[in-house]
Structure 1
Amino acid sequence: MRTNLHALAAVRNLGILAHVDAGKTTVTERILYATGTTHKRGEVHDGTTVTDFDPQERDRGITIFAAAVSCAWDGHRINLIDTPGHVDFADEVERSLRVLDGAVAVFDAVAGVEPQSESVWRQADRHGVPRIAFVNKLDRAGADLDTAVASIRDRLHPAPLVVQLPIGREDRFTGVVDLLRMRALTWDENGGTVHEGPVPDDLREEALRRRRLLEEAVAELHPGALEEFCERSADGTRTPGPHASGPYGPGPHTADTHTPGAHTPHADPANLPRLDTRTLVGALRDLTRCGDGVVVLCGSAYRNRGIEPLLDAVVAYLPSPLDVPAVRGTYEGTEQERAADPHAPFAALAFKVNATPTGRLTYLRVYSGTIGKGDMVMDAGARRTERIGRILQVRADRHAQVDRALAGDIVAVVGLKSTRAGSTLCAPDAPLVLEPPGVADPVVSVAVEARRSVDTDRLARALARLVEEDPSLVVRSDPETGQTLLSGMGELHLEVAVEKVRRDHGLEVAVGRPGVAHRETVARGVSGFVHRHVKQDGGAGQFAHVVLDVEPLGAQEPLESPQPESGGGFAFRSTVVGGRVPREYVRAVEAGCRDALAEGPLGGHPVTGLRVTLTDGATHVKDSSEAAFRTAGRFALREALRASVMTLLEPVAEVTVTVPEDAVGTVLGDLAARRGRISGSATRAGAAVVTATVPLAELFGYATRLRSRTQGRGTFTARPTGYAPAPAPVPEPAPAATPVR
């Protein structure tokens, strides 16, 4: 195990991010094979991959659950998390990104940036996770590196820094030109061995031109590179750089540094490099870690081409735990920092819980300190202590027991009975609470019940375990029907959850038709709504008088210092003057208003998108209290909403449909029938790509309908984008009158 900070610098905690079917799992499999972790390449279509080990993942051919694996490359320990690509499992990605130091974003060389690629990229932006890009599937028909890079620039808006040039196109793709060291890396037919050689003559001029473009892009972003670039441009000289260990740091492809283009006396002088290789590599590292640039590599994971340079880039450009800022947390209102130091007090974040037949596994990212088997740790949020049973180094569903875990490690532990995803574990004598991963609100619900009444209790326990493993699932009881409702992020998400109950617990479950989670909002509010709360039943009474204005959020500009929103599309402020309502009572009114948002007047749905202003009020010397004003705020807003004009909202999704050009008319007509609004269309690789915004309720069963209307040639993706007004319900026709005899 590591005992010093130098060894900690050799750790990389990274995730693989991409749209579904872009090749994330295949890239992970090839990384495991290249590092010697596995001795046979697993295939998604054969169900033999290491990270897609769940039966449902192998049946469906997609990643559903984030899986962690560990491997070693060139003296570095790489902790890798393969994340799902389907939008329904975005919360798995969110929990993974919370504990990662870097990521590899995988893009399809034909499709470029796809909808979920954009979503996970934005998630990584929120967490400040540095990334490098890998353009995969260059062996496919229609694959084009430049087109894929253009989509990265246009849709994701980073500065793409392309460091490789493909050798061959489509099915003739055999390798890449390394633009940093001006050498060719090629692979044999089975992709087993990488061969290093000179740049092919027919690509030399293009390689020099692209090297110069890379230098110019780096010089625009990096002050040190700009200084050297300008110096060499001024004197017109090029000097060989010092001997470097490799273009991505030390690696198996090491060769002496030489002056690129030295053997091309007839090359265009305008294309000759002006940045030393070591300077260029250092600048790329700085730009990647600060987020100002994204290094772009390419290859074909399926054919095992481009994986070794990708691993070298991971080691060279992505940060170690020492390179990221110290983690911040709080305890009892005091903010603290914990550096990535094995000798600091222990602090770790639980980001995943998995109930297995052999015990409950809790996955941890250790941020500081050291933990050993049998140690006592504190769940800081719940304020209780638990004992560590065993510590496991993870490799998907296989584990190797270790004695200790240090700062920077990602491990699984056995023995924690009640720790949940998002909990902070710390040393009992140094408590700390870290910010947990965010959890999105569910948008789709189904009613579930056991087919046999004797299994009702077993189903309740199974659903409780399901929610424990996946916080994005919510189980509740419908107050009107008494049914148990399971809510999640999409139709596929719920299908997977129900199938997990059936397989893991042997239960026969009946499932109702999916329904969407509606919201209510204010279309036209009320002003000067008065509510008096007076209660006298002996002893101290309750008195609170409030006057509220209710309006749609965004109907006017906010005040200079509005009270911060806590999410949910609600803003509260006070314009009371003269101390008619003390500040502590104003906070109580706001709390009462937030209580009232749980149920709207139209159908008991949560209320969003409104602004409440407390304009006046009154107090009583003896009978006023925070409890009285909280009650007054709750009842005042409820009554004000009943007096307002309300609108029902339904969740909508951005749908991207890819179909043959001869099926566009059929698809457009079907989307229109589903109340879809077309937002764009384009032609990509001989297929039409249609983008539309469609109510989520209209997408149930759309996959089957699309396949039938396009003879199985159409595909689509959907990602929730928010809420939109729902159409007014059509009144049922009155029953025909019965004639009187």
Structure 2
Amino acid sequence: MASLESRRILLLLGPPPPPLESREIPTPAAAAAPTEEIDRRRNLAIISHPDSGKTTMTEKLLLYGGALQQAGAVRQKAEQRSTQSDFMEMERERGISISSTVMNFDYEGYRLNILDTPGHQDFSEDTYRALAAADNAIMLLDAAKGLEPQTRKLFEVCRLRGLPLFTFCNKMDRPALSPYELMDQIQEEFNLESFPVLWPIGDGDRFKGVLDRMEDVVHLYQKPVKRGGKAEVVLIPFNDTAKLRELINDEELYNKLIEDHELLNELIEPLDMDRVLDGELTPLFFGSAMTNFGVQLFLDKFLDMGTKPTSRDAFTKDTTDGSGNDDDTNIVSPQFQEFTGFVFKTQANLDPKHRDRLAYVRVVSGVYEKGMKVGHSRSKAGKKYNLAQAQALFGSDRSSIDVAYPGDVIGINNPGMFGIGDTLFTGADRVAFPGIPSFSPEKFCYIRSPNPSDYKSFRKGIDQLLQEGAIQALRQRNDDGGGPLMLAAVGELQFEVVQARLKNEYKVEALMEPLGYTLARWADGGWDAVDKADADGKLFGIMIVQDRWARPVLLFRNDWKASSLTEDEKDLQLSPWSQPPDFEG
């Protein structure tokens, strides 16, 4: 039976995609994306509990990938630059990641798309959406703390998504748990076997380097001379025992390495990549992102082991006859001849001077070409949108691109019609990938501007931030916009982000008044079902509001009240998630 936490995550994620009883869409090879371009792409999401070194790890991957000359730090000192992935004012002030970011770069003939995600649970919705766009995930552990609550939650999501999972035990430059203890935790908590690829030599001040078990070579490190630079490394074949003993210069660590090498070879089965890709085995790495020990090794190994862009389930509909009949469930492969992609994130004010809005699109199949016209899964059949340009993303930096291929994450201008979960496509078949539902909010507050003269800027800021999907707007029934505005979010920090961004990006103040409700449910039966339950006296103590599409939402003070209503009122079907409705635009 699934754990309570697993069931909660399933509830937050919304309904799973339908079972795959499908046919694969035929793929004329002549019109597909070039195979060599698909094969050289790798897509990686980085997940962890807060303060496990995730953003630092991202920076060091960029450093060794050649995308940066000097890595930044989350809490920077005078001579360090800020991190590329944490670019918001609040992120820099607090030293935490608030929003997922994308970094695209080329390395050793590969094209990498790295998604750096927030670790704090109040921003977990953004993380889950980034995982929807990923083909691989790396789980970062603090080697001194092992598995932590948010790590467990995010692992459940990776398992639900079927993502190959790599594990990096970070902060080995500090006193750490035994590597065997960390392996046992992963096995016991997740029922997931691990295969040590890199094995540590010591920890804390005695952390010397790692053994590459795939090549049987020891990498001994020295801290970089320049802060933020690359670590100096000496490579020694394991069988060169005399030189190994001399350079380790610690008899206890040397003997422990010899013993571990023999033990691991006896106890651990050879690496089975099929089990890795099926999510049954995790390649295990040890190192220190802060001191750069083992980071480049991980990057090189991941390029060999990580999966290339994968196929996706989708609904397709032939619209050539205008009937709009019956959706078919299909598999859209990266080789499919038409362009398809889906929006997993929207962002306002990457460039505050221009008040721009960007939709992050994961390319699934075909080729994006500058100026192409695409259909939109929530627009009427036949309506096309011109993608005048797309941009490669590198944190808040962007550069125009003419083409993009499956596995790429690109940014496109979003005048307001593209929402999270929307599908863009070319061709006669209307394509829609399974949507990305909004989480069930657990925090609620009224928000207003204290200065009437700021109202126009306040409304513009709120509207653009709402489109990012981290917060939701609720109003009293039949309120056409003149009444009090209520915000709903997964975590309290989301409200602080709204206040900070309104002040920093839109130059307006905002006052918030918390409300004592703890969960929201959407009434699938519509207003008729709500009115009937209300007339029967079943909604006493429950707040009735509407979402931005005027759909009924019920706010509860506790789970018990929501469960009682569901049991008593069979005609009132409640859902903890919502998706944008179809529209004719």
8 Å CA contact 1:597–1:608 kept in 2: the answer is: no
8 Å CA contact 2:533–2:539 kept in 1: the answer is: no
Tell me: CA distance 1:28–1:613, structure 2 relative to 1, closer, same or farther (3 Å).
Answer: closer
Match for residue 342 of structure 2?
349
Match for residue 609 of structure 1?
563
Structure index of larger Rg: 1
Tell me: CA distance 1:595–1:368, structure 2 relative to 1, closer, same or farther (3 Å).
Answer: farther
Match for residue 390 of structure 1?
389
Matched to 1:35, the amino acid is G
Q: CA deviation at 1:333?
A: 2.1
Gaps of 5+ in 2: 1-31, 225-229, 239-243, 246-254, 318-325, 544-553, 555-560, 577-585
Gaps of 5+ in 1: 216-279, 521-566, 571-588, 615-633, 639-650, 652-741
- Cα offsets for 1:628-674 (capped at 9, x unmatched): xxxxxx9x958xxxxxxxxxxxx9xxxxxxxxxxxxxxxxxxxxxxx
Match for residue 463 of structure 1?
462
Q: CA deviation at 1:489?
A: 1.1
Matched to 1:436, the amino acid is G
Matched to 1:484, the amino acid is L
Matched to 1:36, the amino acid is G
Q: Does 1:149 align with 2:168?
A: no
Q: CA deviation at 1:416?
A: 5.0
Of structures 1 and 2, the one scoring higher in RCO (CA 8 A, sep 6+) is 2
8 Å CA contact 1:26–1:302 kept in 2: the answer is: yes
- 1:231-310 residue pairs with structure 2 within 5 A? 280-281=270-271, 283=272, 285-310=273-298
Match for residue 11 of structure 2?
none
Match for residue 235 of structure 1?
none
Q: Does 1:312 align with 2:306?
A: no
8 Å CA contact 2:48–2:154 kept in 1: the answer is: yes
Match for residue 580 of structure 2?
none
Matched to 2:373, the amino acid is M
Tell me: CA distance 1:600–1:379, structure 2 relative to 1, closer, same or farther (3 Å).
Answer: farther
Match for residue 680 of structure 1?
none
Matched to 1:367, the amino acid is V
Q: CA deviation at 1:151?
A: 2.2
Tell me: CA distance 1:368–1:302, structure 2 relative to 1, closer, same or farther (3 Å).
Answer: same
1:109 to 143, 148, 154: 143
Match for residue 15 of structure 2?
none
Q: Structure 2 length normalisation: TM-score? A: 0.77
Q: Does 1:213 align with 2:237?
A: no
The number of equivalent residue pairs is 485
8 Å CA contact 2:538–2:565 kept in 1: the answer is: no
**Separation (CA, whole Å) in 1 of partners of 2:498 and 2:265:** 49
- Cα offsets for 1:338-369 (capped at 9, x unmatched): 2102x611111011112223332111111111
Match for residue 270 of structure 1?
none
Match for residue 491 of structure 1?
492
- Cα offsets for 1:297-327 (capped at 9, x unmatched): 0100000001122112211222101xx3344
- Cα offsets for 1:129-181 (capped at 9, x unmatched): 11110000011134432333222222222112222321122112121012222
Q: Does 1:370 align with 2:367?
A: yes
Match for residue 510 of structure 1?
511
8 Å CA contact 2:359–2:411 kept in 1: the answer is: yes
- Cα offsets for 1:674-694 (capped at 9, x unmatched): xxxxxxxxxxxxxxxxxxxxx
Matched to 2:462, the amino acid is L
**Separation (CA, whole Å) in 2 of partners of 1:5 and 1:416:** 33
Q: Alignment RMSD, CA only?
A: 3.0
Percent identity over the alignment is: 24
Tell me: CA distance 1:376–1:637, structure 2 relative to 1, closer, same or farther (3 Å).
Answer: closer
Match for residue 446 of structure 2?
447
SS of the aligned residue for 1:459 comes to helix
Q: Structure 1 length normalisation: TM-score? A: 0.61
- Cα offsets for 1:492-522 (capped at 9, x unmatched): 11111221112111112122245433579xx
Q: CA deviation at 1:448?
A: 1.2
Tell me: CA distance 1:510–1:612, structure 2 relative to 1, closer, same or farther (3 Å).
Answer: closer
Q: CA deviation at 1:289?
A: 0.3
**Separation (CA, whole Å) in 1 of partners of 2:149 and 2:280:** 22
8 Å CA contact 1:336–1:432 kept in 2: the answer is: no
Match for residue 22 of structure 2?
none
Matched to 2:279, the amino acid is G
8 Å CA contact 1:349–1:422 kept in 2: the answer is: yes
**Separation (CA, whole Å) in 2 of partners of 1:306 and 1:386:** 45
8 Å CA contact 1:366–1:406 kept in 2: the answer is: yes
8 Å CA contact 1:16–1:81 kept in 2: the answer is: yes
Match for residue 70 of structure 1?
104
Tell me: CA distance 1:426–1:454, structure 2 relative to 1, closer, same or farther (3 Å).
Answer: same
SS of the aligned residue for 1:407 comes to coil
8 Å CA contact 2:334–2:406 kept in 1: the answer is: yes
Match for residue 333 of structure 1?
327
Tell me: CA distance 1:637–1:180, structure 2 relative to 1, closer, same or farther (3 Å).
Answer: closer
8 Å CA contact 1:289–1:319 kept in 2: the answer is: yes
